[in-house]
Amino acid sequence: MSDVEDHGDTGYEHDDGNDAPPKRKLYDDEDSEEEEEEEEEQQEGGKKKRSKHRKRDPLSRFLDIEAEVSDEEEEEDDDEELVNDGFIAEEGGVEGEAGGRHHARLDKRREMESGGEKSAEDLAKEFRERYNTRKLERFTGDMNEIPQRLLMPSVHDASLWQVRVKAGRERDIVFSLMRKSLDLEYTSRPLTILSAFQRDSLPGMIYVEARSSALVSAACTGLVGVYLSRGITLVPIDEMALLLTIKKKEEKVAEGTWVRLKRGKYAGDLAQVVDITENGDEVGLRFVPRIDLNPRDDGDGSKKRKKGASATNPGSSSSRPPQRLFNYEEVVKLYGRNAVSKRGGGSLYVFLGDTYKDGFIEKDVKLNSIILEDINPTLDEITMFSRTLNPDGTSNGGALEDNMVDLSIIAESSRKAALAVLQPGDHVEVFEGEQAGVHGVVEEISGDVLTITASGVDIEGQKIDLPARSVRKRFKPGDHVKVMQGKNAGETGLVVAVSDASANSGSDNSAGGGVVTFLSDMSMQEVSVFSKDLREAAEVGNGTNVVGEYELHDLVWLDLQTVGVIYKTERDSFRVLDQNGQSRLVHPHQITIRRDARDSNKSIATDSEGHEIRIGDGMKEVDGESRKGRVLHIHQSHFAFLHNREIAENGGVFVTRARGLVSVAPKGSLAKLAPGTDLTKMNPAAAGGAQGPGAAGGMVGSGAMGRGPRDRLIGVNVVVIKGPHKGYIGIVRDTNGNIARVELNTGNKVVSIDKSKIHRRLPNGKNEPIEGPGATTPNPYASGGAGGRTPGWGGAGGRTPGWGGAGGGGRTPNPYAMGAGDGGFGGKTPAWNVGSKTPNPYAADGGRTPAWNAGNKTPNPYGDGGRTPGWGAGGGNKTPNPYAANSTSNTSSGGWGGSTPGRSLMGTWDSGTTGGEGWGGATPGRSLMGTWDSGVTGGDGWGKGGSDRNAPTPASWGGASPNRGAWNAPTPASAATPAAFAPTPGLPYGGAPTPYSVPTGGFAAPTPGLMPTPGMSIYDTGGYGGLDMRNNYQPPSDWLLDPSFAAYLTSIRVVIKDTRQDNYLDGKYELLEAQVLAASRAAANYEQTALVKVKVQGNEEDRSILTKYLFPVPPSHQDQAAVILTGPRKGDKVKLRQRPDTDADSLTELVVVQTVIEKGRAEDGSANGEEGTGPFWECQKDWMGALR
């Protein structure tokens, strides 16, 4: 059946082209998808289909016509009744309608009558007409009289249900619902929804009118894109009407409005509306054409050329020609005279189907292919429209001042935008409404309502609510403003003029505010912007001056041979200064590539003095005009582009030869002033940048370090501790002598800072000097840190070949290296070093430089030889002792080398085949160093020139151990040692070199090398002819904290001394004995304190005292317990087995003691783990601290 029906249908439709389909009621019942498809196919214009159907026409037509006609008749009647009903229903209410209704009736009757009078043909014709128009019941608009408010929904109406759907599919789904309902209308389960609709402004939802939500979900099931699972929400009855009345803010298109094109070659281009078609569907636009003036296929025939250059060629949109006003001559030249036809008078042309008038293209465009909102035309774009073509065809750039643009139009177009840009705090003025003229500060914005605090005589301080669109930002000359958006965004400047756009146009148009002209802080040029784009701002902007991917001061390649620097950006072009000093106007497409900034940074050039030039350096020409400037770019190491904003020419950019420059910064002179600076750079042989002058030789032999490829400071995190950048954190990027170039973490800025002004920043957040203080002090003797530089293990230069690679200058070779990472301590002699650097495993001892310990103490006759050297080395060299392989050799004078504590250590290691080469070499070096230092300081025999000293040493070493090789290298470095000495200035010992000097004499000839080691000398004393080389033991300031004594901390007797001279605590506690309650090591940078109990005038008092004022009390009577404070047995508990001299001066007296082996201590291997007594030996009195 449906087949027949279908054919009938189609047949009917094609039977007579003029026939409108009848009301489709008839076949609606069988309305099937098939039919739908048919319709669609037909609409798609399938001619084939039509002809196919036509074949079957006769039969189906017959059947169908019969059926339809009869039915239509009835229907007509029905309809008429219906209409009449309507009239009757409304008759009472609507007076004016009667006439119309009457007419309608008359018309109808007339039609009928005339039909009756006609001839048969006419009648037939009439019938057909009637048939055609039969359905055309009069348009009555019967509902139009009812006021909308009477149409509001009532409770009797079906509800509206909101259904979530896939965004973008709303319309499709509404269509589907319609079709579905028609399909199912006469099935057993028709859709019982009344309507469904969608609004463009409500994406992702459709609304269905139905009696219940179940009906809605029934209707929606099976439709793709409907999210029934997200619920069906009832729309409250009072919101129903709103759904149908909401509308997007009306975008009125009026003549003169600015719009933007959405698609095609002109996408995004600004256009001006010149006229509007009657139904507002299309608008006539005027905009700047983009005619391809470089047709690609030039050689071909004109036709083809035209095509290639066709303005409508969508494929060519990728490289769309620039905006340019239509120029008849140019176009004719390229496209031939035939391509352009001239219309009428003036400059009206038709080219490729488009009309060009006054240089602009005028085109009718569909309303939906233009953008009406958020146009925000820029002044530049608008000025383009203000250009006119001169008769000669050249364009005449119209500036703003020409007043050719009606700014009010722009202002209008930006009216909406103005709402968005207001912020609390803005100064605004009211330009319309009854408050017009009031100005004040925006307090609050809620929606479209502003609250402002008015200022002015009468209403000062009052708060006024205003519609946001009736205010505009207000600026006055003198304000400092910043551009918030647009091309000039980021520019700041001083307002010099405010021109009110409304001045010469209707007040209604002035919404966006006037044009503010300000003097840019950057370019010192006047910039005009809309006031809506401005804010008052105190800061000075660093406008970006970016055009496309090019930025002001970029280095760009113009061609293979030419580079240039952009010194000015214009609307669509740049001014570029090339390397030959010529200035050119360049368009972006003429730029080959932009040199990556990094590339440029890599370029190296040297100035006239041979110093390196870097980007950003301040340089000056040595000859010529002596122009100064900051280096922007270096090209091929030869050309330098500099910038100086004081130079007016070329935007302050100039190019010059790099060789003709000299630094204006004091860099060069600094280098000269500070001796020893920048050795790294200037002399690869001195690599490692030995910091002390004396250390210069330190690198000899260390081939690996020879190049010193990198300053070890590079990459170090530092904090600036002085100067204008104080507090800034950065990373050392490079060093140049005393100067470090630090890249600050903030601002991405590289500054040159004196090294002394930066501190290394440790991961734990603490800071410490970047390197020993000595590093920067030229005076080797004065520098505390210089010791650290001791070739043996000092700074980079000083690295002993053996372990130089190990890293940080300051690091001790010490295998136990506690705190070896504290490079910052480098300055300290290993021995000295608070221990960390000391090879001494018990490092706390470090303070005791072997050197100073060593002194001239008489070798301990009782001690086994092996040990002795050990202590000589000052705790530090303890290690060797236990193994004391060398002891014997030590004792022998010849073996001096071996006896050096350091050496002994060496020896030890050697024998142990510990592979000590590596660091073994270092250790002795250090101790040796220390010794040397002291010697030197003493000045006596030692003073005679480092070279002498140096020489012997290696020799002595040479004999000593296989490690000598390693040793030799460090030796020369010993030159630096002197410095090492200095670090301890604080110690009383400072002045103590003398003791060393004593031995010197003995020393002099034979074992110079040996001598050095103080530790050694102790042992050697014997060999030296019994000279009393003993020295007073001065515990280091933090002796108390030595872990060796931890067990006795509270029992050790201490006395407070030396406070008077420092006036510490007014010397109140001077010479009082105290009991230590607690002490723990504070951070290295702080003074160590201990909590002690002290009795002052009968009152006991607990207080903290700096440990440096706490001194051990030497044992004074037999059988007294004591702890050994230094030496190889440091930390051992002993008992005096001999009554010591009571003479206070006899602190160096040797006393027989017996080791007390405590439980668990098995140091010597001799211990059985039981508490008991150990061997007897002899100990210097002041090496012991009495225990309670």
Partner 1 sequence: MSDATAAIIPPTKSRHLRACLLCSIIQTSSDFRSIGCPNCEEILQLKDSPDRILACTTSYFDGVIAVIDPETSWVGRWQRISKYARGMYAVRVKGRVPEDVEAELESRGIKYRPRDQTDQD
Q: How far is the CB of 525 from partner 1 (least distance, A)?
A: 44
SS3 599: helix
Interface residues for partner 1 in 102-131 (CB under 8 A)? 103
Q: How far apart are CA 936 and CA 944, in angstroms?
A: 8
Neighbours of 90 (CB within 10 A): 16
Closest CA to 792 of 952, 980, 1014: 980
Residues 458/461/464/467 CA torsion (nearest 10 deg): 100
Q: How far apart are CA 513 and CA 1014, in angstroms?
A: 88
Sketch the per residue contact string, 362 through 401, with partner 1: x for CB under 8 A, - otherwise: ----xxx---------------------------------
Interface residues for partner 1 in 720-739 (CB under 8 A)? none
SS3 834: coil
Q: How far is the CB of 419 from partner 1 (least distance, A)?
A: 22
SS3 429: strand
Q: What angle in degrees, to the nearest 10, is found between the helix axes of 57-91 and 97-117?
A: 140
196 sits near partner 1 (criterion: CB under 8 A) = yes
238 sits near partner 1 (criterion: CB under 8 A) = no
Q: In this complex, which beta carbon is closest to partner 1, that of residue 144 or of residue 221?
A: 144
Q: How far is the CB of 275 from partner 1 (least distance, A)?
A: 15
Q: How far apart are CA 125 and CA 526, in angstroms?
A: 79
| Count of residues interacting with partner 1 (CB under 8 A) | 80
Q: How far is the CB of 182 from partner 1 (least distance, A)?
A: 6
State which of residues 63, 71, 129, 197 lies at the interface with partner 1 (CB under 8 A).
197
Closest CA to 538 of 482, 483, 490: 482
State which of residues 18, 119, 318, 1099 lies at the interface with partner 1 (CB under 8 A).
18
State which of residues 20, 167, 214, 1082 lies at the interface with partner 1 (CB under 8 A).
20
Q: In this complex, which beta carbon is closest to partner 1, that of residue 23 or of residue 1161?
A: 23
Q: How far is the CB of 252 from partner 1 (least distance, A)?
A: 11
Of all helices (H) and strands (E), which one includes residue 733? Answer: strand 729-736
Sketch the per residue contact string, 127 through 156, with partner 1: x for CB under 8 A, - otherwise: ------x-xxxxxxxxxxxxxxx-xxx---
Q: How far is the CB of 745 from partner 1 (least distance, A)?
A: 54
State which of residues 4, 67, 123, 158 lies at the interface with partner 1 (CB under 8 A).
158
Q: In this complex, which beta carbon is closest to partner 1, that of residue 100 or of residue 393?
A: 100
Q: How far is the CB of 151 from partner 1 (least distance, A)?
A: 5
State which of residues 50, 128, 164, 199 lies at the interface with partner 1 (CB under 8 A).
199
Task: Choose one: 174-182, 745-753, 756-764, 821-829; the region binding partner 1 (CB under 8 A).
Answer: 174-182
Q: In this complex, which beta carbon is closest to partner 1, that of residue 103 or of residue 1159?
A: 103
SS3 535: strand
Task: Choose one: 51-59, 178-186, 792-800, 824-832; the region binding partner 1 (CB under 8 A).
Answer: 178-186
E-state strands within 263-406? 270-276, 282-287, 340-342, 348-351, 354-357, 360-366, 370-371, 388-389, 395-396
205 sits near partner 1 (criterion: CB under 8 A) = no
Instruction: Name the one residue in this structure whose structure tokens are 């507002």.
Output: 280
1029 sits near partner 1 (criterion: CB under 8 A) = no
Interface residues for partner 1 in 930-989 (CB under 8 A)? none
Interface residues for partner 1 in 526-585 (CB under 8 A)? none
Interface residues for partner 1 in 27-56 (CB under 8 A)? 28, 31, 36, 39-40, 43, 45
279 sits near partner 1 (criterion: CB under 8 A) = yes
Q: How far is residue 994 CA from its own chain's centroid?
A: 60
278 sits near partner 1 (criterion: CB under 8 A) = yes
Q: How far apart are CA 679 and CA 696, in angstroms?
A: 9
Task: Choose one: 50-58, 240-248, 528-536, 767-775; the region binding partner 1 (CB under 8 A).
Answer: 240-248
State which of residues 34, 66, 281, 465 lies at the interface with partner 1 (CB under 8 A).
281
Q: How far is the CB of 238 from partner 1 (least distance, A)?
A: 13
- Residues 6 or more apart whose CB falls under 8 angstroms from that of 683 comprise none
CA distances from 782 to 63, 696, 779, 978, 990 (A): 125, 17, 5, 9, 11
Q: How far is the CB of 430 from partner 1 (least distance, A)?
A: 28
Q: How far apart are CA 585 and CA 570, in angstroms?
A: 9
Q: How far apart are CA 699 and CA 669, in angstroms?
A: 26
92 sits near partner 1 (criterion: CB under 8 A) = no
280 sits near partner 1 (criterion: CB under 8 A) = yes
Neighbours of 348 (CB within 10 A): 14
Give the DSSP letter string of 201-247.
TSTTEEEEEESSHHHHHHHHTT-TTB-GGG-EEEEPHHHHHHHHH--
Q: In this complex, which beta carbon is closest to partner 1, that of residue 146 or of residue 350?
A: 146
Q: In this complex, which beta carbon is closest to partner 1, that of residue 364 or of residue 443?
A: 364
Structural tokens at position 913:
């085949």
Q: How far is the CB of 476 from partner 1 (least distance, A)?
A: 40
Q: In this complex, which beta carbon is closest to partner 1, that of residue 86 or of residue 618?
A: 86
Q: In this complex, which beta carbon is closest to partner 1, that of residue 280 or of residue 1172?
A: 280
SS3 533: helix
State which of residues 174, 1010, 1049, 1110 lies at the interface with partner 1 (CB under 8 A).
174
Sketch the per residue contact string, 449 through 468, with partner 1: x for CB under 8 A, - otherwise: --------------------
State which of residues 181, 313, 455, 1116 lies at the interface with partner 1 (CB under 8 A).
181
State which of residues 51, 114, 201, 507 lies at the interface with partner 1 (CB under 8 A).
201
Q: In this complex, which beta carbon is closest to partner 1, that of residue 282 or of residue 362?
A: 282
Interface residues for partner 1 in 885-914 (CB under 8 A)? none
Q: How far apart are CA 23 and CA 561, in angstroms?
A: 80
Closest CA to 1167 of 1179, 1155, 1178, 1176: 1155
Q: How far is the CB of 246 from partner 1 (least distance, A)?
A: 9
195 sits near partner 1 (criterion: CB under 8 A) = yes
Q: How far is residue 1028 CA from its own chain's centroid?
A: 68
Q: How far apart are CA 730 and CA 746, in angstroms?
A: 8
1086 sits near partner 1 (criterion: CB under 8 A) = no
Task: Reduce the secondary structure of 463-506 to three states and give it as a string.
Answer: EEEEEHHHEEECCCCCCEEEECCCCCCCCEEEEEEEECHHHHCC
21 sits near partner 1 (criterion: CB under 8 A) = yes
Interface residues for partner 1 in 737-766 (CB under 8 A)? none
Q: In this complex, which beta carbon is closest to partner 1, that of residue 170 or of residue 269?
A: 170
Interface residues for partner 1 in 242-271 (CB under 8 A)? 244-245, 247-248
Give the DSSP letter string of 347-373.
SEEEETTEEEETTEEEEEEEGGGEE-S
Q: How far is the CB of 109 from partner 1 (least distance, A)?
A: 16
Instruction: Name the one residue in this structure whose structure tokens are 């009289």.
Output: 145
Structural tokens at position 96:
């004016």
Q: In this complex, which beta carbon is closest to partner 1, that of residue 208 or of residue 1186?
A: 208
Q: In this complex, which beta carbon is closest to partner 1, that of residue 219 or of residue 1186?
A: 219
- Residues 6 or more apart whose CB falls under 8 angstroms from that of 452 comprise 428, 438, 440, 441, 442, 443, 463, 464, 466, 471
Q: How far apart are CA 530 and CA 489, in angstroms?
A: 12
Residues 1112/1114/1119/1124 CA torsion (nearest 10 deg): 60
24 sits near partner 1 (criterion: CB under 8 A) = yes
Of all helices (H) and strands (E), which one includes residue 520? Answer: strand 515-520
227 sits near partner 1 (criterion: CB under 8 A) = no
State which of residues 175, 390, 601, 1118 lies at the interface with partner 1 (CB under 8 A).
175
